[in-house]
Amino acid sequence: MSDVQEKKPITTSKLRQMKQNKEPITMLTAYDYPSAKLAEEAGIDILLVGDSLGMVVLGYESTVSVTMDDMVHHTKAVTRAAKTAFVVADMPFLTCHGSVEEAIHHAGRLIQEGNAKAVKIEGGEEILPIVKRCTKAGIPVMGHLGLTPQSVHQLGGYKVQGKDLESAKQLITDAKALEEAGAFGIVLECVPAEVTAKVAEAVEIPVIGIGAGVQCDGQVLVFHDVLSYASNLTPKFVKSYAQIGDMIQSAISQYVIEVRSRQFPEQRHSFAASEETIQQLYGEEVRV
């Protein structure tokens, strides 16, 4: 039996226990069946179907163009591959800024149609009623504080958050409020490491950082950044563990060369007809 078969499915209580045991939680985005399968087999604890898919998979400028239908479609593909990893799906732009009923309806689609285990919602105080309602309805919610990409236009770009005392304290207040409202975890993005440490200390739920230093309960990165897979942005906090974009491109270039020069396909890649069929087809003609 392989490690993956033996591993028990990750749950929200397991994640909280990992924080208590100071066992770092691993989280990575995934947007389709193969990326989720590979990450799952590598032992990732949480797979995030992030709305970053708008940029890295769909080619948009930001995450604001991503729709609920996009999220459901990609979440379905990821959950088909996830056997033990805990799948969290992002609530896309504006799905949490109408009524609580609308938000519940959207969250319900990610769980019922997408088969996600939980949803992630960007924001602090303003989303508390939705967090409470979702949690009450049995939908686990992960918060997202610090740099919240859906507010990129309001924030004036992808900037580090919580640099001054007031905004650092606000992050701590928001994290506590999210915990109290029932969130099972928080993603903290682009925040100074010293501030992250205080946020993580202030709550019992896991705080997963991205560009937030090492002193939190786990780390999350974007799949395409980790693998240098046609990703144009390389934020300072990203570590690239492989150059698969270059590998893919040089493999495809070689394919193009071989097709153009008729090196591919070779004899061994072709199927053969029977001698009799060939005889009748070609007669005395020269065969290809």
62 is in an annotated binding site: no
Peptide bond into 265 cis (omega under 30): yes
Query: Under 8 Å CB-to-CB from 91, ≥6 apart: which residues?
Result: 71, 103, 106, 107, 110, 119, 120, 121, 122
Question: Which bin fits 146, alpha (ψ -120 to 50), beta or left (φ > 0)?
Answer: left
Work out whether 52 is an interface residue with ligand KIV (CB under 6 A).
yes
Q: Give Cα separations from 44 to 41, 99, 196 (angstroms).
A: 8, 34, 22
Of 51, 174, 217, 225, the one binding ligand KIV (CB under 6 A) is 51
Helix-helix angle 128-136:165-181, to 10 degrees: 20
- From the CB of residue 283, how many other CB atoms can be counted at a distance below 10 Å? 7
Q: With contact defined as beta carbons under 8 Å apart, do 27 and 40 qualify?
A: no
State the nearest-atom distance from the C-beta of 125 to ligand KIV, in Å.
19
State the nearest-atom distance from the C-beta of 29 to ligand KIV, in Å.
4
Cβ-based nearer residue to ligand KIV, 39 or 48 = 48
List the x/- string, 207-226, binding to ligand KIV by CB under 6 A.
---x---------x-x----
If binding means CB under 6 A, how many residues of this protein chain bind ligand KIV?
A: 11
State the nearest-atom distance from the C-beta of 11 to ligand KIV, in Å.
20
189 in catalytic set: yes
Cβ-based nearer residue to ligand KIV, 236 or 268 = 236
Work out whether 196 is an interface residue with ligand KIV (CB under 6 A).
no
Of 12, 29, 196, 231, the one binding ligand KIV (CB under 6 A) is 29
The stretch among 48-56, 234-242, 266-274, 275-283 that binds ligand KIV (CB under 6 A) is 48-56
Cβ-based nearer residue to ligand KIV, 233 or 259 = 233
Work out whether 10 is an interface residue with ligand KIV (CB under 6 A).
no
Q: Map tokens 């009748």 to a residue.
A: 280
Work out whether 141 is an interface residue with ligand KIV (CB under 6 A).
no
Beta-strand relationship, 46-49 and 86-90:
parallel
76 is in an annotated binding site: no
Q: With contact defined as beta carbons under 8 Å apart, do 195 and 171 qualify?
A: yes
The stretch among 1-9, 43-51, 99-107, 176-184 that binds ligand KIV (CB under 6 A) is 43-51
**Pairwise CA distance, residues 47 & 241, whole Å:** 18
The string over 249-279, giving b where at least 16 C-beta atoms fall within 10 Å of a residue's C-beta and e elsewhere, is eeeeeeeeeeeeeeeeeeeeeeeeeeeeeee
Identify the active-site residue in 166, 179, 189, 204: 189
270 is in an annotated binding site: no
Query: Among residue numbers 85 through 114, which ones bind ligand KIV (CB under 6 A)?
Result: 90
Q: Please give the residue ranges that form the binding site for ligand KIV (CB under 6 A).
A: 29, 48, 50-52, 90, 187, 189, 210, 220, 222
For the annotated binding site for 3-methyl-2-oxobutanoate, the residues are 51-52, 90, 120
Residues serving a catalytic function are 189
